[in-house]
Structure 1
């Protein structure tokens, strides 16, 4: 982050723009059409607000906020571990601290830094550690427990899937203790309260926002988000190297079961890892950042298992000594694993630096020539629109160049989903509703181009999540979109895969 402070991933850049628009009092799901639940957009207001406060670029402010949250999560975790009471558990506290550091390094490489999964893990982690401390007879102060619970509640609200992370661990502890009174704690109460307040806040949203979210976007996402799905078998079994992911997960889980009597944290982390794997599989998109919770659980498991095995060897070798070198073992393992993790992250940094001198985090269709065209044809603060169904590939570039979204549609994934529903609808009513919303999307695009004085509009020939033979340009031409909605635009260039249209009148 210090070497490349302007780096930001596509999802984070898109959501950062949502946060900026919310600060400008734009109406959620009306002036900002985005399928994500609102919590992550509320959180994105923090770096967007910091950027405005200090008059700096948004990307470095975002990275600073995520770094600050990472430090806060680690400090809270270490503070919570002070409450461990049992001597057997205390012996593993240094190992847990080592695992926290190594897990953080493995969890958040540059291209995933600050993703929703990353943020959720950072927010939920202190809560998870506190629940382990509670269930092993330890304690902590009520204020800290309340604060940690609120953070966990916020983390779980980013995506509903994230409830599985603390949920699976709680199920494990309940099955072990069979004591439901263990749930009557400050941290669980504050986490539940945070979730309930978040749910209740939807009642305070304007009626139009509620209607668009619950009656339009959620049904559309349920029916049409499959347009982005990958084959489930490939997601479960295949990776860059076939079978590596499931073999590693199963191996780590089996070893945790074998070593469970030596370290009471192994099975809870196993529950976390299984939950993380389910989060990845249930979303069925195959995006690598969806593996962040699972990878963090795996990192914690592997470090704890290595430490457990080393401590077992130590106990065997130094069985007759009163003083055993526990600290030395921890230090050596920490150094080795930290070097290994830093080496992996370093290799990724080198790969991105070698890719070019530009800071842009870009897909193939958004190469530096495309960015250069945007720079030549617009100014800072201008609105620019990409007909992009790929989840916002243009946003890192727009954030780095200080351009604004050219439409209420943060990306064109609703269009891709509408096309999918029309093709796969189970009833004629669904097909008609999708066709009606498709016409509405095109009309609203034209309205936005006029109201926002969108400077540039970039139209591709083909787009992600649409059939391979579907021509976006031909479709828009057949629907007279250019004649009806883009009368004030002329084509000025063709760069990468886009036709570039510039506004000629105000």
Structure 2
């Protein structure tokens, strides 16, 4: 009898180890991708990261730089920026690694609740749900680090804790520190968008529908549960901090950001039916929700947690539809919660089968965990194979990160042509202004290139929104006319004040919007048109108007070689060829850098530097020995 019991314990230990290794394998599978794609980041997240970078420099939101969003996401992005600077990584890599680590922590907290309360929770039913949650970030690239992504990661441990409270499934007292941490984390990320609170309320209603009464405080106590108190603290602190911003910054937020967004956000709005079935990435999560809702009706009495999971998915759908925009990141809560609902339903069915056959088929749990491990290993193996192939291609065709001060190669798929234009026409500390109808392609290209913004406005989106707001609310046309004039004037003054090196103006609709203000003649008189890229005219500071298309590559090469060889000085070259001196200086700087990059051999040069350092140390040692000898002499 003892041997059978020991064998059962060993089998359960093996099951536990296989499940743990499966989760660790899945959760770590994305890291090689991010370290290969060090500059991979989407438009919105790049602005958040840039905002965090500017805050670290002591700048104030809305006063020193502008974005439509409330400031919490900007301050949260100080964390990945600090991580990137600590390890000398590109800023996009800092964001992606930080978020990936946050996902691991969140999954570990959820798994902790399932493990500690496994007897009352019926743990086998939750393994598929946890596994689906672990897979969540692995498939995200474009929306990795969006506010919806961060919220869904931070809310899940709180969801598990509240379910335990409602369903009275705590086998023992929950650690107070853990309850406070879980509640504070959910409250902080819930503050990113006001309607995230609806997701929490829907989850509470789901558990309430099964439990029959609210679970707000422990029996016999007056104060609510610690996690509920902790949930409310971050929003209150956030409100106090927000209204502590300088008055001028708050005035910009309410007068420009909030007013324009209120009436101008219809610029990107989509119809109800398009939001549901416009493309496959809308229909897939919606179909998953419908399937999950169908099986919820059948299985809801088999597992009390299904009520909370179903209401989460319903809240995700509602959260997406009230936005009125067919943007993929708005789908994230519905997509995740629908998958978690389906996974919990699969786990519930598995638990029914397991309970019925565990005595007759003792190895059923071991077989299931082995299948989970094989899937995880295969999934991660495919990721590694893909990354290895991409790395070989990147070495041949990718972007050499040494050009922007880092090491490695980044696949070209992560860049727009705007990125290459910025890199080729500016230096490391040169400022750039992109005036476009949206955020992309100015951002992420500018962040990827590491070029600081040359204006308070990181993008030209306010002009597009103001134009739409004027159409939406004609009665406020005078207000929007004033805001438009002020915004365009601020762009121009910033360009002059900061001596911006490169200005990109989108042809449609921005060029048409700024034309009545004579913007190009008034503010870009010292700039020459370089080219057109991604639908934008590129203007470079040259000190005066120059037709740069007259100078072929061969002509520029001739001038640069004569300057570098000492035949001409930069001033003589400018005089001889009738080219503005700033243009000649730029050509020479780029030519010298190209020669250095082309002739640099890292192995040989590093070895040479090491030998030189050794020689210097040898000479210093010899000198010190001579000094010691002199001191010892009688």
- Report the TM-score when normalising by structure 1: 0.88
Question: Following the alignment from structure 2 to structure 1, what is the Cα–Cα distance between the partners of residues 320 and 377?
Answer: 26
* Contact kept in structure 1, 2:38 and 2:90, CA below 8 Å: no
Name the counterpart of 2:519: 481
Residue 478 (structure 1) shift: 2.9
Name the counterpart of 2:210: 176
Name the counterpart of 1:135: 166
Identify if the C-alpha distance between structure 1 residues 399 and 88 changes in structure 2 by more than 3 Å, giving closer, same or farther: closer
Correspondence 1:49-448 to 2 at 5 A:
49-84=82-117, 86-87=119-120, 89-106=122-139, 109-137=140-168, 138=170, 139-182=173-216, 184-240=224-280, 243-316=283-356, 318=357, 321=360, 323=362, 325-333=364-372, 335-336=374-375, 357-358=398-399, 359=410, 367-368=416-417, 370-427=418-475, 430-448=476-494
Question: Following the alignment from structure 1 to structure 2, what is the Cα–Cα distance between the partners of residues 268 and 202?
Answer: 33
Identify if the C-alpha distance between structure 1 residues 77 and 342 changes in structure 2 by more than 3 Å, giving closer, same or farther: farther
* Contact kept in structure 2, 1:279 and 1:290, CA below 8 Å: yes
- The structure with the largest helix share of the pair is 2
Name the counterpart of 1:468: none
* Contact kept in structure 2, 1:382 and 1:455, CA below 8 Å: yes
Correspondence for 2:530 among 472, 489, 492: 492
Where 1:34 maps in the other structure, the secondary structure is: coil
Moved more, 96-105 or 112-121: 96-105
* Contact kept in structure 2, 1:156 and 1:163, CA below 8 Å: yes
Residues 465-484 of structure 1, C-alpha deviations (whole Å, 9 max, x = no match): xxxxxx43244233211122
Question: Following the alignment from structure 1 to structure 2, what is the Cα–Cα distance between the partners of residues 352 and 235?
Answer: 37
Residues 447-489 of structure 1, C-alpha deviations (whole Å, 9 max, x = no match): 2112322110011212xxxxxxxx4324423321112222332
Where 1:502 maps in the other structure, the secondary structure is: strand
Where 2:35 maps in the other structure, the secondary structure is: coil
Where 2:239 maps in the other structure, the secondary structure is: helix
Coordinate RMSD, CA, aligned: 3.0
Correspondence for 1:457 among 503, 515, 519: 503
Moved more, 188-197 or 214-223: 214-223
* Contact kept in structure 2, 1:237 and 1:245, CA below 8 Å: no
* Contact kept in structure 1, 2:432 and 2:453, CA below 8 Å: yes
Name the counterpart of 2:602: none
Where 2:429 maps in the other structure, the secondary structure is: coil
Moved more, 176-185 or 449-458: 176-185
Question: Following the alignment from structure 2 to structure 1, what is the Cα–Cα distance between the partners of residues 388 and 443?
Answer: 21
Question: Following the alignment from structure 1 to structure 2, what is the Cα–Cα distance between the partners of residues 348 and 265?
Answer: 38
Correspondence for 1:7 among 28, 37, 40: 40
Moved more, 129-138 or 34-43: 129-138
Question: Following the alignment from structure 1 to structure 2, what is the Cα–Cα distance between the partners of residues 349 and 389?
Answer: 37
Residue 413 (structure 1) shift: 1.7
Residue 21 (structure 1) shift: 0.8
Name the counterpart of 1:467: none
Residue 302 (structure 1) shift: 2.0
Moved more, 38-47 or 491-500: 491-500
Where 1:153 maps in the other structure, the secondary structure is: helix
Name the counterpart of 1:465: none
- Gaps (5+ residues) in structure 2? 1-33, 218-223, 400-409, 544-581, 583-634
Residues 124-144 of structure 1, C-alpha deviations (whole Å, 9 max, x = no match): 111111111222221420001
Where 2:303 maps in the other structure, the secondary structure is: coil
Name the counterpart of 1:22: 55
Moved more, 415-424 or 263-272: 263-272
Bigger radius of gyration: 2
Ranked by relative contact order (alpha carbons within 8 Å, sequence separation 6 or more), the top structure is 1
Residue 362 (structure 1) shift: 7.4
Question: Following the alignment from structure 1 to structure 2, what is the Cα–Cα distance between the partners of residues 432 and 339?
Answer: 62
* Contact kept in structure 1, 2:36 and 2:391, CA below 8 Å: no
Residues 365-384 of structure 1, C-alpha deviations (whole Å, 9 max, x = no match): x733x333222211112211
- Size of the aligned set, in residue pairs, is 490
* Contact kept in structure 2, 1:360 and 1:400, CA below 8 Å: no
Residues 368-406 of structure 1, C-alpha deviations (whole Å, 9 max, x = no match): 3x3332222111122111112223432222222111122
* Contact kept in structure 1, 2:129 and 2:347, CA below 8 Å: no
Moved more, 414-423 or 349-358: 349-358
Question: Following the alignment from structure 1 to structure 2, what is the Cα–Cα distance between the partners of residues 475 and 103?
Answer: 42
Residue 88 (structure 1) shift: 5.2
